[in-house]
Amino acid sequence: MTLTADAATDSQPVLDVTGPWTPPGTLLRQMWNARHIIATLARREFFSRYRRTSLGAFWSVILPLVQAVVLAIVFTKVARVGLPGNAFVYVFTGLASWSFFSVTLGVASTAIVDNAQLASKIYFPRAALPIVTVVANSYIAVVNYVIVVIAVYASGVDPRPQAFGIVAAILTLLLLTASIATLLAGMHVYFRDMRYAIQAILLVAFYVTPTFYPLGQAPAFLRVLDEINPVTGIIELTRVGTVGADHHWWIPVIATYGWTAAVVGAAVLLFSRHDRVFADLL
Amino acid sequence: MSDIDLNAAISLRGVGKRYTKYDDAPALITAATHMFRRSRRSKLWAVRDVDLDVQPGESLGVIGRNGAGKSTLLQMLCGVTAPSDGRLRVRGRVAPLIGVGVGFHQELSGRENIYVNATILGLSRREIDKRLDSIIAFAELESFIDTPVKFYSSGMYVRLGFAVAVHTEPDVLLIDEVLAVGDLAFRMKCFDSMRAIRAQGATIVFVTHQLTIIRSLCDRAIVMSNGTSVFDGAPDAAVSHFHDLLRIDQDEESDLGWAIRRSGIATVDLGALEAGDGTTTSSINGFDKLALPVTVHAEQDLVDGFLGVAVHSEDGTLVYADSAHETPWPLVKAGTTKRVTIGLQLALPTGAYSVTVGLYQRSDIAGKQVQLDLAPPRLIHVIGRPMVQGIADLKATFGPKPRAAATRRSQPAARRGSRTP
C-alpha cells in the first residue's frame, strides 16, 4: 500500500505504485523533489502573464492602490467610519494582504483544471500547480508590503519592534494562501462549481475582513465572523506594530494558524487519496 | 502472482485500471444527494490483470485496437494516473512522448519553452544550458527559436517536443503515436535517434498503429485486447497475432503472415543510394535507374537467402515490395560478405519515399519465409513527371487512334503464348 516516486538516488528515480493511496510522507517528499519544477513553472507563469502589456507586473500593484484610495475616500468622506491616523494608510495595511489573497486564490484554486493539458500528460505532483501560482504571485505580496512600510513611516508612525510582525504577516499570508489554494484546487477537479462559488465567497468575505474598518469597531456578530476569517489574523499582525491593532489581536492570529494547520491537513488527506487519479477527471 | 521484478526497467503485476463512468455530472449538489446512491455510477475496467516485465535496453511495442487499453497502460507507466489494482514499478528517468509539446506555453518562445519542458522532464538548469544548442539543432528551429511557439506549425511543435524529450537522456522513453506527425525526413531522424537512445541502454515502449515501426524498432511486442495483454513475444509474431485478432488477412500489412524473424545468421546493410551514373544521390528523376548498393554479411552459413526491397511513401503507405525469392543464393559461407546492387526505377509522382532492404531465407514451412535482418531505411526524393497524381506513375499513353493502341496491346499476349510449349 505505498506509492513512491522519489529520487532513490538522483540518477535513478523510481516510480513504484500500488494500493489506493499515497502515504503523506511520500507526498511531501514528492513535493520537495518537484521544487525545481515549481520554480520553473512559476517563472513561466510570471513572464507569460504580462507579455505584451506596457506596464506589465505593475498592474497587480496599481489595482490595490486604486482600490485603497477609493475605499479611503468612501469610508471617510461618505460613510464616515472613524479610521485611526491616515485613512489611506490604514486601509492599505488591510488591502495589502487581502488583495493578494483574493487575486491569488481566484487563479490558484482552479490551477489543476486550468493546467489539465500538462497535468494529464506528464507526471509530477499535481499539488505543485496551485503552489506555482502562489509563488508566481508572491511578488505582489512583497511589493504590497514594501508600500505598506513606506506609507506607514511616511505618514509619521514611529518605528516599533512589533513592526517585525509584518515579516510574520507575509510568511503567514503565503503559507495560508498556498494551503487553501491547494485544497480548493484539488476539490475543484471534482466540483467544477467551485470556480464560481469561490468568487462569490470572496466577494462576501471582503466585507467580513477588517480592511476598511478597525476590528474593534465591528459590531458583535460581525466581530465573530471577522475573527473566524483567516485573513484577519494577518491584517492584525500587520497593524500591531504600525497603525495599531485591536486589544485582542492575538485571537484572530491564533485562528489564522489554526486554519492553516487544518487546511494543510485536509489538503494532504485529499491529495494522498486523489492526486493519483486527478488525471482521469481532467 | 509472482513478485515484482526489481531489476526490470518496467515491471507490472496484476495491474488494472478501473474508471468510474459518471452518468450524472459530478457537481456539488449531485455529490451530496448521491452520496448514498453510488451504484448509479458504472465502473469500467480499461486495463485488467496485466503482468509485464521490460528489461533495461529492451524496446517493446504495444499494439491493439482503439480502446484496448494501450494509452491507459502508457499513462500508468509515466505516472500520470495510478492503477486501481496491482503493482507497477518503473525505474529511471521517464520521458513521455504522449502529447506533443506538452507544457509548451503559447506566449513563450521556443527557447523559453525548452527550459520549461526539460525541467519538467527532470533536467537541471545547468544540464539544459549544456544541451540547448544540440536541442535547437535537432529540432531544426535555429531561426525560429526566439519566436513564441503560438506561431509554430504543428510540425515545428512536434520537432521541438521530440528534440527536448530525446535530449533528456531518458532511461525509459514512452512513445504514443507521436511520430505520425512531422515529415518523413524528420521521422527518419527520430528513428535514428531512438536507435541511438536504445543503443545507450534505454528502454523504449511504443504504442502505435504503424506496424512497420513495431517491426523495425522493437525487440518484442505485446498485443492488447479488451484491457489485457493477450500476446507477448517477437514483433512479427505479435503482428500476426494482432491480424488474427482483427480477422483481416488481406490488408497491406498481411505480408508479415509469411515471415518469421530470426537473428544471428546474417545481416544486411544498405549503402548510400546511387544514380545511374554511379554518383551518390538523395534525389532522382522518376525515369532514371536507381542503384541500391547492398552488403550482406553471413555470420553463419546462409542457405537459400534472398533479398527483398520495399518502398514506402511519406504517409507510410507501401508503394511497392518485391523479392528475389525465386532465385535465392544457394550458399553464402559463414564469415563472407556479399555485395549486390539492386536496380530500381521509381516511376512515382514527386515526393519523398523510403527504401528498405530486407534479407530473407526460404524456410521448410510452406508459405513462410524467415526474415533475417532489415537494413535501416534510406530516404530518396523522387522528381516525377509534372502533373502526375496518385501513388504510382503508370505512364499512360494517349495515342491518336484506338485501333493502334489495341494492336500494341495484343503483342505481349502473343509473346506469352509463344513461350508455352
Query: Cβ contacts (< 8 Å) between B105 and chain A: which residues?
Result: 44, 48
- Would you say residue A251 has pLDDT above 80? yes
From B22, which residue of chain A is nearest by alpha-carbon distance? A281
What integer pLDDT is reported at residue B63 of this predicted model?
86
Residue contact B120–A193, C-beta within 8 A: no
- Which residue in the block uniquely carries the three cell numbers 485486447? B225
Q: A214-227 burial, b for 16+ CB within 10 Å, e for fewer?
A: bbeebeeeebeebb
Q: Cell digits for A259?
A: 486554519
Residue A41 with chain B: CB contacts under 8 Å: 116, 119-120
- Judged by CB atoms within 8 Å, which residues 184-203 of A form the interface with B? 190-194, 197
Q: Choose from B13, B120, B169, B173 for mutation: most chain A CBs within 10 A.
A: B120
Confidence of residue A136 (pLDDT cuts 50, 70, 90): very high
- Are the beta carbons of B116 and A41 closer than 8 angstroms? yes
* pLDDT at residue number B420: 40
Determine the pLDDT at residue A156.
83
User: Cβ contact (<8 Å) for B28 and A197?
Assistant: yes
Grouped pLDDT means (10 residues each) for chain B, 421 residues? 80 87 56 56 82 90 84 87 89 78 77 88 88 90 88 84 85 76 72 82 83 78 89 83 57 48 81 83 83 91 90 77 88 90 89 85 75 80 82 84 54 44 40
Q: Is A277 on the interface with B (CB under 8 A)?
A: yes
Strand B203-207 and strand B172-176: the pairing is parallel
What's the pTM value of the predicted model, to 2 decimals? 0.71
Which of A37, A51, A121 is facing B102, going by the closest CB pair?
A121
- Please name the member of B28, B96, B105 whose beta carbon is closest to the beta carbon of A121: B96
According to DSSP, the β-strands at B203-207 and B59-64 are parallel
Q: Quickly count helices (H) and strands (E) in chain A.
A: 13, 2
- State residue B179's pLDDT score: 60
Contacts of A194 in chain B (CB under 8 A): 28
Q: Smallest CA–CA separation between A225 and chain B, in Å? A: 24
pLDDT at residue B252, as a whole number: 36
Give the DSSP letter of residue B299: S
Interchain CB distance below 8 Å, A14 and B31: no
Mutation target to probe the B interface, by most B beta carbons within 10 A, among A277, A278, A281, A282 is: A277
Residue recorded with cell 509472482: B2
Residue B258 neighbours by CB distance under 10 Å: 17
Tell me, what's the pLDDT at A7?
A: 40
pLDDT, one tens digit per residue, over A263-277 is 999 999 999 988 888
Model confidence at A181: pLDDT above 90: yes
pLDDT tier at A8, thresholds 50, 70, 90? very low
Residue in the block written with cell 520554480: A39
Tally Cβ neighbours within 10 Å of residue A62: 11
Give the residues across from B362 on adjacent strands.
B369
Strands B59-64, B220-225: pairing kind: parallel
Report the pLDDT value the prediction gives residue A98, as an integer from 0 to 100: 94
Q: State the Cα–Cα distance between residues B264 and B253, nearest whole angstrom.
A: 25
Residue B174 pairs in a beta bridge with B96, B205
> Which residues lie below 8 Å from residue A115, measured CB to CB, with a gap of 6+?
A129
Chain A contacts of B120, Cβ < 8 Å? 37, 40-41, 118, 122, 124
**What pLDDT does residue B244 have?**
66
pLDDT at residue B410, rounded to an integer: 47
pLDDT at A135 (0 to 100): 95
| Chain B CB within 8 Å of residue A91 CB | no
> What are the grid coordinates assigned to B404, written together?
493502334
For residue B132, which phi and psi values (nearest 5 degrees)? -55, -50
Residue A123: its chain B contacts at CB < 8 A?
A: 78-80, 94, 96
CA atoms within 13 A on the CB side of B303: 2
* Residues of chain A found within 8 Å of residue B96, distances taken between Cβ atoms: 121-123
Query: B87: helix, coil or strand?
Result: strand
Q: CA-nearest residue of chain A to B15?
A: A18
CA distances to A82, B16, B155 from B146, rounded to whole Å, are 55, 44, 17
ipTM for the assembly: 0.77
**Rounded Cα distance, A130 and A122, in Å:** 16
Closest CA to B230 of B48, B11, B74, B72: B48
Set of chain A residues whose Cβ sits within 8 Å of the Cβ of B27: 191-193
Q: What is the spatial distance between Cα B279 and Cα B249, in angstroms, rounded to a whole number?
A: 41
For A244-248, what is the mean pLDDT?
84
Touching check for A273 and chain B: CB below 8 Å? Answer: no
- Which amino acid type is present at position B7? N
**The one-letter amino acid at B131:** R
Q: Which of A196, A201, A247, A245 is nearest to A225 (CA)?
A: A201
Handedness of CA A209, A212, A217, A221 (dihedral sign): negative
Contact list in B for residue A1 (CB cut-off 8 A) is none
In the predicted model, what is the mean pLDDT of residues A105-117? Answer: 90
Would you say B59 and B206 are in contact if contact means Cβ atoms under 8 Å apart? yes
**Among A150, A153, A118, CA closest to A34:** A118
A54 touches chain B (CB under 8 A): no
Which residues of chain B approach chain A closer than 8 Å at the C-beta?
Answer: 19, 26-28, 31, 75-76, 78-84, 86-94, 96, 98-99, 102-103, 105, 107-108, 112, 115-116, 119-122, 124-125, 171
Question: In the numeric block, which cell numbers belong to residue B128?
Answer: 539544459
Cβ atoms of residues B79 and B94 within 8 Å: yes
Cell of B67: 480502446
Cell numbers standing for residue B99: 502529447
C-alpha cell at A216: 474593534
Q: How far apart are CA A85 and CA B343, in angstroms?
A: 96
- Nearest Cβ partner for A44 among B19, B31, B108: B108
- CA nearest neighbour of B73 among B259, B274, B223: B223
Nearest to A121 among B28, B94, B98 (CB): B98
Chain B hits for A52, Cβ within 8 Å: 107
Q: Nearest Cα to A123, choosing from B295, B281, B93? A: B93
Specify the DSSP class assigned to residue B99: S
DSSP A205-265: HGGGS-SSS-GGGS-HHHHHHHHHSHHHHHHHHHHHTTT---TTTHHHHHHHHHHHHHHHH
Mutation for testing the B interface, residue in A17, A48, A201 having most B CBs under 10 Å: A17
The pLDDT of residue A52 is 73
Tell if the CB–CB gap between A40 and B120 is shorter than 8 Å. yes
Size of interface A-B (CB pairs under 8 A): 108
Report yes or no: A2 at the B interface, CB cutoff 8 Å. no
Question: Does residue A185 surpass a pLDDT of 80?
Answer: yes
Nearest CA to CA, how far is B371 from chain A (Å)?
37
Query: Touching check for A32 and chain B: CB below 8 Å?
Result: no
